[in-house]
């Protein structure tokens, strides 16, 4: 559905006077009689017809109210489509990350963030960027932004931990893994990260005093 407000260059809260003034200005600009070239006249005719149709709807209060309802419904449907596209792109990106292909993951996660800018998508985009090695600065910026926007979600801290672990910053990695456990004490990814960086002592004294073999 064409957006008549955008076509006339006004907002959806424009008054009737503003709508009329916008239409008159465009009508003078695109009136077919102003053009002599056949192709330009044809294009002017088409555009003049579009702005006239828009004005006829928006200048009538009843038609405008009905149009606004249809426009709102169309926007909601478009949002639903974009959310689905974002979710599909995110799902595919996670598979690429699992198979050590951060570049393809980055492309898909950028799509996901464009269609549905959720902090969780942004967090995984940041992690994928760090994994590329080439865009680590941008990656950490996005990871930090996601953590600020979704500070109660352990996943953003796990992703930060993974990113810091990837570049060899053990202290920051442990800090974020522990932060993830503060919000979810049973988070398996955070626990595994800590175990990798702080392996349990399985030496002689551990065995002597009942440690695991």
Q: What is the pLDDT along the chain (213 residues), one digit of tens a residue?
A: 678 999 999 999 999 999 999 999 999 998 989 888 888 888 888 899 889 989 999 999 999 998 888 888 877 777 777 788 889 999 999 999 999 999 999 999 999 998 888 999 999 999 999 999 999 999 999 999 999 998 899 999 999 999 999 999 999 999 999 999 999 999 999 999 999 998 765 555 454 555 444
Among residues 129, 134, 115, 135, the alpha carbon closest in space to that of 162 is found at 129
For 195, phi then psi, to 5°, come to: -65, -35
Domain range summary for the chain, segments of one domain joined by +? 4-59, 151-213
Coil, helix or strand for 19?
helix
Taking a C-beta distance cutoff of 8 angstroms, is the pair 116, 97 a contact? no
Taking a C-beta distance cutoff of 8 angstroms, is the pair 181, 195 a contact? no
> What is the per-residue DSSP string for 64-101?
HHHHHHHHHHHHHHHHHHHHHHHHHHHHHHHHHHHTT-
pLDDT recorded at residue 203:
52
pLDDT recorded at residue 1:
64
pLDDT recorded at residue 213:
42
Percentages helix, strand, coil for the chain (3-state, rounded to 5) are 75, 0, 25
Taking a C-beta distance cutoff of 8 angstroms, is the pair 139, 126 a contact? yes
pLDDT recorded at residue 91:
95
Q: Is the pTM of this model over 0.75?
A: no
Q: How far apart are CA 191 and CA 197, in angstroms?
A: 10
CATH architecture, domain defined by 4-59: Orthogonal Bundle (1.10)
Q: How far apart are CA 73 and CA 107, in angstroms?
A: 30
Burial class (CB in 10 A: 0-12, 13-18, 19+), 15: exposed
Among residues 51, 53, 49, the alpha carbon closest in space to that of 22 is found at 51
């Amino acid at each position: 559905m064409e957006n008549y407000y955008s076509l006339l260059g006004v907002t959806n809260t424009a008054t009737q006077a503003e709508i009329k003034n916008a239409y008159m200005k465009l009508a003078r600009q695109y009136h077919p009689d102003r053009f002599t070239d056949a192709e330009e006249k044809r294009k002017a005719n088409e555009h003049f017809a579009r702005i006239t149709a828009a004005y006829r709807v928006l200048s009538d209060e009843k038609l405008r109210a009905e149009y606004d309802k249809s426009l709102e419904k169309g926007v909601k449907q478009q949002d639903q489509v974009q959310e689905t596209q974002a979710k599909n792109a995110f799902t595919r990106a996670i598979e690429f990350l699992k198979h050590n292909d951060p570049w393809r993951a980055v492309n898909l996660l950028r799509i996901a963030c464009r269609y549905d800018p959720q902090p969780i998508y942004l967090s995984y985009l940041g992690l994928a960027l760090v994994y590329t090695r080439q865009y680590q600065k941008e990656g950490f910026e996005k990871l930090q932004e996601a953590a600020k926007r979704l500070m109660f979600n352990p996943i953003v801290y796990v992703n930060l931990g993974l990113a810091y672990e990837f570049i060899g910053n053990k202290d920051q990695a442990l800090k974020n893994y522990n932060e993830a456990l503060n919000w979810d004490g049973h988070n398996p990814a955070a626990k595994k990260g800590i175990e990798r960086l702080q392996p349990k002592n399985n030496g002689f004294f551990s065995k002597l005093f009942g440690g695991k073999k």
